[in-house]
Copies of this chain bind each other. A is one copy, B any other.
Amino acid sequence: MAGSKYTYVRNFELPDPLLPGTFMVFRLDGHSFHRFSDEHGFTKPNDIRALELMDHAAKDVMEQYSDIVLAFGESDEFSFLLRKSATLYNRRQSKIVSTLTSLFTSSYVFRWATYFPDCPLKYPPSFDGRIILYPSAREIRDYFSWRQTDTHINNLYNTTFWALVQQGGESTTQAHATLKGTVSKEKHEILFSRFQVNYNALDARVRKGSTLVREEIPEQSIPNDNGETPTRPDEPLESVAPSSIRMRKRTKPRTKVVVLHCDIIKDDFWDSRLEILSD
């Protein structure tokens, strides 16, 4: 073949398999999203449209990759759990990291106009991704507890901060100074006494983040009625899946991805979904 004298360069492509039998967490984060949210006028402290767009992109990823059994997102980040026995792309690290980051990004841009109909995208946003391996269920529980704890800490801070700025008339510098060194209880107190906000009564979405799981669809149910999590109407990516893929799925109980805003630190969530951590 004409190209053969150059093909030796392929020998520099080294294998990068991830350890088998190990949980993979794939986490992605928005790249320079501070600026991105400013440029696109995200409301503070939380822009529900932006959060729903993140959820939708995550749902697209989860619908396309059946090895993903759980996802959790907050702000501009999302974590996906792949089952221990996943053999996706022969567990090649770069292939998995790049493909999942790419699909999430693609979906985010593709669906932008649905969530921001009056705000055209000014430039293409990007995300970075990584995979972390965890040997046991204990660490997976702790990983998601870590992320949800972080959601709580960040959101309480941001909620109080923007209340001070937007309603309290403080400059951002002043607001930072006001909050410096305060503990959780004091922030609750500021919100309640100064702004009549009961933090615990806020939308669970912003306090708990978004948790995506698969749920079985009862045979008789109407496919697009996903009660628990009313999202905007959308065409799932599967609708364009080639028939061979649709065929294979028929043999398992049909599932759909649902978005929850619930506690995932305590045992309840996990005890009622044992399939997430078992294989």
The quantity of this chain's copies bound in the complex is 4
Known contacts A14-B17, A93-B94, A152-B2: A99-B128 contact under CB 8 Å: yes
Task: Name A240's closest neighbour in chain B (CB-CB).
Answer: B123
Q: Give the shortest distance, in Å, between A186 (CB) and chain B (any CB).
A: 14
A106-B103 in contact (CB<8A): no
B149-A12 in contact (CB<8A): no
Q: Give the shortest distance, in Å, between A94 (CB) and chain B (any CB).
A: 5
Q: Give the shortest distance, in Å, between A185 (CB) and chain B (any CB).
A: 11
A28-B135 in contact (CB<8A): no
Rounded to whole angstroms, the CA-CA distance of A99 and B98 in the bound complex is: 8
Return chain B residues, CB-CB under 8 Å to A15: 14-15, 17
B-contact 0/1 string along A20-54, CB 8 Å cutoff: 11100000100100010001000000000000000
Interface size bracket, A side: 35 or more
Return chain B residues, CB-CB under 8 Å to A106: 105-106, 108-109, 124-126
Q: Which of B20, B21, B97, B142 makes the CB contact (< 8 A) with A6? A: B142
Q: Which of B94, B123, B149 makes the CB contact (< 8 A) with A129? A: B94
Q: Give the shortest distance, in Å, between A80 (CB) and chain B (any CB).
A: 13
Rounded to whole angstroms, the CA-CA distance of A106 and B132 in the bound complex is: 24
Q: Give the shortest distance, in Å, between A27 (CB) and chain B (any CB).
A: 9
Q: Give the shortest distance, in Å, between A53 (CB) and chain B (any CB).
A: 12
Give residues in A with beta carbon < 8 Å to B: 1-3, 5-15, 17, 19-22, 28, 31, 35, 39, 60, 84, 93-95, 97-99, 101-111, 121-136, 139, 142-143, 145-146, 149-150, 152-153, 184, 237, 240, 242
